[in-house]
Structure 1
Amino acid sequence: MKRITIKDIAREAGVTDATVSLSFKPDSRISDQTRQKVLQVAKRFNYVPNLAARYLRNGHSNTVGILVTEVTNPWNAFLIRHTQEVVYQRGYQLFIAESQWSATKELSAIEAMAQLRVRGVLFCCSEKTDQSFKRLKTFALPYVLLDTSPQRYRGSFVGNDLVAAGQMAANHLLDAGCRYPAHLTGSLQDLKFSSFRKLKKGFTHALKARGVGWDESLCVAAGLTIDEGREGMRALLARAPQIDGVFCVNDLCAMGAMEAVEEIGRRTGRDLAVVGVDDIAVSSHSRISLTTLRFPHARIASLAANALLDLLERKRKEPINESIEPELIIRKSSRLARKRGAPESGTIGAE
């Protein structure tokens, strides 16, 4: 079947190619009568404009990109969904890419976005290479960092206050009566990732501030999945069987940790408190009931996406820098808090 082109529509409607192109632009100078005539012909032939050709002519598109480490990570999935809503409402499309924690794939994704003439990028960097920022600058792509930022980064950023999250987790475990709290962090190959370092920093600083000594053996590299959380917790329990509380790098890791606790006949909540990060949907399920740190996905996505679009539309000149504190959502996985007079469930904001 022959593909219908702009020339076919122009011939059928009795207008020029340029008139057909202008008919698909609501603010163009052609008359409503001509526009409707062209659009009716286009509908009859199921014609849609060739946006790739338009992008080549204009040098840019109405598309922005979002580059995350893993699209399957629940946190990133939330960000993508809310970001798409924001950019769509402002008349843009969203191009989605992932690096899978690979420097090579991250650089390749940035180059693909440049080739597709995206206007700007919302960037969850893997921190595996400094070349990503240089590549964005080379391609003159405006960007806003999402979720986390390297220590020396000074540009636009919207994300989580992970130090505050670590502090809140530590204080909650201590308030619950834990005397031997521990920490499951990211995988061995990602220990330098700034998100994991900030969570640990907040956690250990809060413990020390309350007179609880910290032993590095109580921090075990696990990862972001249930399987990794289970294996990490097994290793932690073998190393330090006396622990009575654990702060996990995310909710999936925490769920794996809960499985490992139950494997040895101990009960989550009654014998050992578990706290996660993210508050994914399943965390509130009655059979899991995981205490966790909740970050406002929609607000973070809205702030970042609107800041980027304002930069593109020259409505904003100064970089944005927002670190948003979490809420502590208390559930049964740390319910030994009841024995200390704390609430069994509810929401606590950062101090």
Structure 2
Amino acid sequence: MKKTTIKDIAKLAGVSKATVSRVLNGSKYVSPEAYNRVMKVIEKTGYKPSSIARSLVNKKTKVIGVLITDISNPFYSELVKGIVEVANVYDYNILLCNSFNEFKKEVEFLEILSNKEVDGIIFMTKGVTDEHRNFLRSFKKPVVTVNRKVKEFKIPNVDIDNFKAGYDATEHLIKLNHKRIAIIRAAETDETAGVERFEGYKKALDDYKVPFDNRLVMEGDFKAKSGYKAMEKFLRLENPPTAVFCVNDEMACGVIKCVVENGLNVPEDVSVVGFDDIPLASLFIPSLTTIKQPIYDMGAVAMRLVYKLIKGEKIDKEDYILPHKLVIRQSTKKRN
């Protein structure tokens, strides 16, 4: 059966192909009479316009590229949920790219998204390299970042105050009389979890006159296994920590598992604070004290911003800082 075309619709409605195109895209004025004739033919024939053809006319693909580092991490699945649900409201589709924490793959995905002519990109990469910056210089469509401020570019970034959050987590442990407070941070290439949260940790120690000990600083990769391994090293110290602040919840769960498997208890022997408040945090035993990020809202706000930019609307600022909250549960306890 022959597929109905715009030419067929125009012939049946007694109008030009240009008029049919205007009706379909709402691009220019069409008289009510011509509009009604075209719509009646479309309804009668069951015609559905090609999405590719429409994108060529509108110069819009109705697709947003989303680049993340690890979809298996509950943080990212919740973030993507916020993006997708708002995208659905705007009748946009998402092209999701998962880099598995590989810088090379991130840059490859950005080029792929550019070649796919996506209308905009939302990304939260492992870090920001010169390759990322080179891409941003050449990419002329809207970009919004989450948790990844790129200072050289006027790109909207959705985030929390990571310095203050790191400070709050550490201050909580200090107020519970802990003096040996360890941190499992991220790599220094990660401006938020690797630098800002770490700086907040150090500032809290300094403000409360708690000595900073470089032996109590370990680097993890956001996986529970890296938290476990870091805690093993802490426990081998002559004077091990009585509290540990982890820059994400998965590593905190690894820390708790290590403490228990070494014959100690949380929080009686070691207090633990995480970061993110993923669903597992409240279900873990003991339930995890953590910094709650509004993860879903961060994704939703990012999608709203990129949509505004696509529509040509002005946005009033570059930094969109959402509130965080210290959620106190069973994994922390006052030290006698």
Counterpart position of 2:175: 175
CA distance in 2: counterparts of 1:137 and 1:319, whole angstroms: 20
Distance 1:261 1:36, change over 3 A: farther
Q: Is the 8 A contact 1:258 1:274 kept in 2?
A: yes
Q: Name the residue aligned to 2:310.
A: 312
1:167 counterpart letter in structure 2: Y
| Deviation sequence 1:9-52 (CA, Å, 0-9, x none) | 9489946876776665478745345325424533xxxx754323
C-alpha distance in 2 between matches for 1:153 and 1:25: 34
| 1:244 CA drift (Å) | 0.6
Which deviations, in whole Å up to 9, do the C-alpha atoms of 1:145-179 show, x marking residues without a partner? 11122565553211121111110111111112212
Inter-CA distance 84–126: structure 2 relative to 1 (3 Å threshold): same
SS of residue in 1 equivalent to 2:5: helix
Give the conservation status (yes or no) of the 8 Å contact 1:9–1:41.
no
Q: Which residue of 2 aligns with 1:267?
A: 265
Instruction: Tell me the residue number matched to 2:45.
Output: 41
Give the conservation status (yes or no) of the 8 Å contact 1:7–1:17. Answer: no
Q: Which residue in the other structure is 1:347 paired with?
A: none
Q: Distance between the aligned counterparts of 2:41 and 2:9, measured in 1?
A: 12
Greater shift, 122-131 or 220-229, is seen at 122-131
The residue that corresponds to 2:253 in the other structure is 255
Asked if 2 retains the 8 angstrom alpha-carbon contact of 1:6 and 1:49, the reply is no
Q: Do structure 1's residue 145 and structure 2's residue 145 form an aligned pair?
A: yes
Q: Which residue of 2 aligns with 1:132?
A: 132
Equivalent pair of 2:128/2:150 in contact (CA under 8 Å) = no
- How many angstroms apart in 1 are the aligned matches of 2:238 and 2:185? 16
Contact 1:23–1:39 (CA under 8 A) maintained in structure 2: no
The alpha carbon displacement at 1:128 in A equals: 4.9
Provide the C-alpha distance between the structure 2 equivalents of 1:31 and 1:8, rounded to a whole number of angstroms. Answer: 14
Does the 8 Å contact 1:70/1:101 carry over to 2? yes
Q: In 2, distance between residues paired with 1:185 and 1:68?
A: 19
Q: 1:224 aligns with which of 222, 226, 230?
A: 222
Matched-pair contact (CA < 8 Å) for 1:102–1:128: no
Tell me by how many angstroms 1:270 deviates. Answer: 1.5
Using structure 2 for the length normalisation, give the TM-score. 0.87
Aligned residue for 1:100, secondary structure, equals: coil
Distance 1:58 1:153, change over 3 A: closer
**Match of 2:213, as an amino acid?**
D
Alpha carbons of structure 1 residues 146 and 301: separation in structure 2 relative to 1, 3 Å = same
| Structure 1 match to 2:319 | 321
- Secondary structure of the residue aligned to 1:145 is strand
Structure 1 Cα separation of the partners of residues 103 and 211 of structure 2: 37
Shift of 1:311: 1.9
Which of these residues, 188, 191, 194, is aligned with residue 191 of structure 2?
A: 194
Report the RMSD for the aligned CA atoms in angstroms: 2.8
Q: How far apart are the structure 2 equivalents of 1:242 and 1:32?
A: 78
Residues 120, 142 of structure 2: 8 Å contact kept: yes
- Change in Cα spacing, 1:78 to 1:36, as seen in structure 2 (3 Å) is farther
Hey, what does 2:203 align to over in structure 1? 205
- SS of 1:140's partner is coil
Higher mean C-alpha displacement, 152-161 vs 170-179: 152-161
Size of the alignment, in residue pairs?
A: 329
Q: What secondary structure is seen at the aligned counterpart in 2 of 1:118? A: coil
Q: 2:231 is matched with which residue: 208, 233, 256?
A: 233
**Which residue identity does 1:90 align to in structure 2?**
Y
- For 1:325 and 1:180, the matched residues in 2 are separated by 28
User: Are the counterparts in 2 of residues 155 and 319 from structure 1 also a CA contact under 8 Å?
Assistant: no
Q: Are the structure 2 counterparts of residues 164 and 6 from structure 1 closer, same or farther at C-alpha, using a change threshold of 3 Å? A: farther
In structure 2, relative to structure 1, the CA distance for the partners of 1:17 and 1:95 (3 Å cut) is farther
Question: Which amino acid is 1:272 matched to?
Answer: V
What SS is found at the alignment partner of 2:118? coil
What's the CA shift for 1:60?
2.8
The one-letter code matched in structure 1 to 2:326 is L
Normalising to structure 1: TM-score of the pair?
0.83
Secondary structure, counterpart of 1:333 in structure 2: coil
Q: Give the corresponding residue for 1:157.
A: 157
> Which is further off, 164-173 or 121-130?
121-130
CA distance in 2, matches of 1:137, 1:56: 25
Q: Structure 1 138/62 Cα, relative in aligned 2: closer, same or farther at 3 Å?
A: same
Correspondence 1:116 to 2:145: no
2:67 aligned counterpart, secondary structure: strand
Matched, 1:77 2:86: no
Query: 3-state DSSP class of the match of 1:261?
Result: helix
